[in-house]
Amino acid sequence: MRLVADQVVVRYPRTDRDVLAGASLTVDAGESVAVLGPSGSGKSTMLSVLGGLVRPAVGAAYVDAAPPAPRLRDVTSWVLQTTNALPERSALDNVALAALTRGVSRPAAHAEARERLAQVGLAARADDPARVLSGGELQRVVIARALAGGRPFVLADEPTGQLDHATSMVVLDALLEGAAGASGTGVVVVTHDPEVAARCTRTVRIEDGKVLAS
């Protein structure tokens, strides 16, 4: 299975400027791809195209899989720079939400959530409310939730952007190692950090609305 963006054009509303101008990118399940480029180059827009949140004006974005192919939104989970965790709910409850939305029973969802929290090194914090966790711990909760969603791709938009270097590396470890242990989950990471990019299996750049191999 792969995500495909084929010669996509995305225009800014009420302007004639293209934020993506015939950009193409494919991502296979099981690989990690870093997307680099200057601010405003279209990195986050490409992520939204791959996640099915933005529809191109020209070109196509789709899941390349055996028919009937699923929708992009059905195969992607998100990790954002802001953690968007529920502060009064436990880490366990925050992660379990992903499995519950798949229709998994509450006991099974909690069991999976504990496994995912252990996978990102937070087994001991499972029952603590999100509001008492550090920024790095909260980001690992969000990663665990993305992995618990059971979807073959994780899209991460600047997941380490507000963290110090040491915490950034811990969070990146959780994302890449967690995905690697989740039956070949593909990861796409938008980042400005070359050290983050170096940890991925492949790097691309977006400049002037086009995707360039790095």
Domains of the chain in sequence order = 31-42+71-213 (3.40.50.300)
- At residue 183, the pLDDT reads 59
Q: Are strands 58-64 and 2-11 parallel, antiparallel or unpaired?
A: antiparallel
* Cα–Cα distance for residue pair 51/127, rounded to 1 Å: 31
Half-sphere exposure of 17 (CA within 13 A, CB side): 9
Contact in structure between 143 and 174 (CB atoms under 8 Å): yes
- At residue 168, the pLDDT reads 81
> Going residue by residue through the chain (214 aa), what tens digit of pLDDT does each one get?
899 999 999 988 777 788 999 999 999 988 999 999 998 889 999 999 999 999 999 999 999 988 888 999 999 988 887 677 889 999 999 999 888 888 889 999 999 999 889 888 899 999 999 999 988 888 889 888 888 877 889 999 988 777 788 878 887 887 887 676 555 789 999 998 888 889 898 999 999 889 987 5
- At residue 166, the pLDDT reads 81
Print the SS3 string covering 10-46: EECCCCCCEEEEEEEEEEECCCEEEEECCCCCCHHHH
What is the spatial order of strands in the sheet that 2-11 belongs to?
18-28, 2-11, 58-64
In terms of Cα–Cα distance, which of 159, 118, 148, 149 is closest to 32?
Answer: 159
In terms of Cα–Cα distance, which of 188, 212, 85 is closest to 142?
Answer: 85
User: Angle at which helices 91-100 and 135-148 pack, to 10 degrees?
Assistant: 20
- At residue 30, the pLDDT reads 86
Question: pTM of the prediction?
Answer: 0.86
**CA–CA–CA angle 142, 97, 48 (5° rounding):** 55
**Strand ranges (DSSP E) for the chain?**
2-11, 18-28, 32-36, 58-64, 76-79, 153-157, 186-190, 202-207, 210-213
- At residue 156, the pLDDT reads 92
- At residue 165, the pLDDT reads 84
